[in-house]
Chain A
Amino acid sequence: MSSHSFVVYEEQVNQINAALLRMIKKAEAKCALLVDKDGHLITRQGFTQTLDTTALAALLAGSFASTKEIARLVGEPEFSVLFHQGKKDHIHVSLVGERCILAVLFDDRTTIGMVRLFAKETGDRLKEILTESDNKEEPAIDPEFARSAGSKIDDVFKE
């Protein structure tokens, strides 16, 4: 908690989901993930049932962080787009605002150009939605939270 907690509200996730779905449809991509820079998955849309999205989110964030460091070493402030090309599936990763990463998985039914075009458009829209979230004050957590967490943790972490 070096800075404020990153809070996402239900109405914002609904708006984000709608924007992602629109992009998937227009770009004919397979799925899209919105991840924060620390590797937490915010939301996902499309065919993600077979994917381990939690691990994918952490790895995407790690990959993006290391690319940013590479950029700094070569004198760039940031590489805002990353592209991984596979045999069948490809991933387009782009920065959304200051705190999030948009990853779009697609195959040969579409082209990198289409994905890039719509990912940029969607990224701008997501940035607006997330800025609204940053401007809100953080709500309170139930005071019972940590107390009930203690017993739950003992339960889960028993040897």
Chain B
Amino acid sequence: MVTINYAFREISCKIVYYGPGLSGKTTNLQYVHDRIPSKSRGDLISLATEADRTLYFDFLPIHVGDIAGFATKFQLYTVPGQVFYNATRKLVLRGVDGIVFVADSQKAKMDENIESLTNMYENLRENGIDLSEIPVVIQYNKRDLPDICSIDELQKALNPEGWVCTEASAVNGTGVFDTLKRITKLVLEHTKRETAVSPDGVPQIGAASAPMPERVDVSSQRAEPVYAQTVATVPNGGSWTQANRSAVAVEEPPPPSGQGADALISSNKITQTGIAHRATPIPRDVVFARQPSRRIRSRQRSFWDRLFGWLTGR
């Protein structure tokens, strides 16, 4: 749940790193903590056991800075990966805005990945969170180790939903920031679409109709994995289990139908978002909480100028 504080002009989003034990969730956060300038982050807090295994969560606040007049903050959390910490794992997922699933690429860890993914679906469902409503990035970690699964195998086994995927070796930092960039952008894109409505209910230019090259329909999933290009919704709200996982693993994805991302950008699915916003106009006086910053006012003017230009064909 994104928290928007109009008094301090702050937007705060919660991103959770989920995955099996020892898959590298805490390592991801440690690398981010080490590499980001201290002015852009807070302290990394680890609630860990004496053996340095996460007990409750790790927490790293990141201040991206001013975006369109809002101080934007991300709160990165990890969950404890060990199976018997499920109660605390479930608590960390509350109010999540985006998930990074950190999968261990080693062949011997495949079952743990699947178990953790199934557990994530269950915990989200128990928290009343619809997985189709939040962005997910799947990170295939430990790519530097020998005896690892190929990306194709991992995609088939863990990513039938077609989430954005990244390759990483968190211990030496490869792919850590790539993953973080993708999830943060997806979360902000999602936030914008959740809230973007113009004063009289006309969809904002650049809001629902904006090109979203990273979002395509699951039905157009290509035969080979398309890294960092596919995001899709979970059709059944996350009731995917190990039983039908095996079915997915042997089932060949449909051949490319010629419908690439460009074709789908203008598909009904995305247009419908705009219609939904139009159906619930927000009164003029509540938009921007009555006190928009000068910067936002100037952007509003430029929007009206653009709209006028569009109406008059200039």
- A residues near B, CB below 8 A? 1-10, 12-14, 36-40, 42-43, 52, 54-55, 58-59, 62, 65-66, 69, 136-150, 152-154, 156-159
Taking a contact as CB atoms under 8 Å apart, the answer to whether A145 and B43 are in contact is no
Taking a contact as CB atoms under 8 Å apart, the answer to whether B72 and A149 are in contact is yes
Measured CA separation A103–B67 after assembly (Å): 30
Residues of A within 8 A of B42 (CB): 52, 54-55
Q: Given A1-B134, A152-B67, 9 other A-B contacts at CB below 8 A?
A: A1-B191, A2-B95, A2-B128, A2-B134, A5-B195, A40-B75, A52-B42, A58-B61, A139-B282
Q: Give B33-66 interface residues, CB cut-off 8 Å to A.
A: 35-36, 40, 42-43, 45, 47, 56-57, 59, 61-62, 64-65
Residues of A within 8 A of B144 (CB): none
Measured CA separation A6–B133 after assembly (Å): 16
Residue among A36, A38, A65, A137 having the largest count of chain B Cβ atoms under 10 Å: A38
Give me the 5 closest cross-chain CB pairs, A-B, nearest first: A38-B95, A13-B7, A143-B204, A2-B129, A146-B192
- B residues near A, CB below 8 A? 1-8, 11-12, 14, 35-36, 40, 42-43, 45, 47, 56-57, 59, 61-62, 64-65, 67-70, 72-73, 75, 77, 87-88, 91-92, 94-97, 127-130, 133-134, 173, 177, 180-181, 184-185, 188-192, 194-199, 204-207, 210, 282-283, 286-291, 296, 299-300, 303
Compute the total of residue contacts between A and B using a CB distance below 8 Å.
208
Taking a contact as CB atoms under 8 Å apart, the answer to whether B3 and A37 are in contact is no
Residues of B within 8 A of A5 (CB): 1-4, 191, 194-195
Nearest chain A CB to B196 CB, angstrom units: 5
Taking a contact as CB atoms under 8 Å apart, the answer to whether A156 and B40 are in contact is yes
Taking a contact as CB atoms under 8 Å apart, the answer to whether B291 and A10 are in contact is yes
Q: Beyond A5-B1, A141-B196, A143-B303, is A154–B45 a contact (Cβ under 8 Å)?
A: no
Q: Beyond A141-B196, A142-B68, A143-B206, is A1–B190 a contact (Cβ under 8 Å)?
A: yes
Measured CA separation A6–B198 after assembly (Å): 19
Taking a contact as CB atoms under 8 Å apart, the answer to whether B288 and A140 are in contact is yes
Residues of A within 8 A of B73 (CB): 54
Residue among B3, B194, B196 having the largest count of chain A Cβ atoms under 10 Å: B3
Taking a contact as CB atoms under 8 Å apart, the answer to whether A1 and B133 are in contact is yes
Measured CA separation A14–B289 after assembly (Å): 14
Q: Beyond A137-B283, A140-B195, is A1–B97 a contact (Cβ under 8 Å)?
A: yes
Taking a contact as CB atoms under 8 Å apart, the answer to whether B14 and A144 are in contact is no
Taking a contact as CB atoms under 8 Å apart, the answer to whether A37 and B195 are in contact is no
User: Chain A residue with minimal CB distance to B197?
Assistant: A140
Interface residue from A141, A152, A158 paired with B177 (Cβ < 8 Å): A158
Q: Beyond A8-B4, A140-B197, is A149–B188 a contact (Cβ under 8 Å)?
A: yes
Interface residue from A6, A39, A145, A157 paired with B68 (Cβ < 8 Å): A145
User: Chain A residue with minimal CB distance to B129?
Assistant: A2
User: Chain A residue with minimal CB distance to B95?
Assistant: A38
Interface residue from A6, A54, A150, A152 paired with B2 (Cβ < 8 Å): A6
Taking a contact as CB atoms under 8 Å apart, the answer to whether B5 and A140 are in contact is no
Measured CA separation A147–B12 after assembly (Å): 17
Residues of B within 8 A of A3 (CB): 1, 128
21 A-B residue pairs with Cβ-Cβ distance under 8 Å, sorted by A, are A2-B134, A3-B1, A5-B1, A5-B4, A5-B194, A10-B7, A52-B43, A55-B61, A137-B286, A139-B195, A139-B286, A140-B195, A140-B204, A141-B11, A142-B68, A143-B205, A143-B210, A146-B210, A149-B188, A156-B36, A157-B177
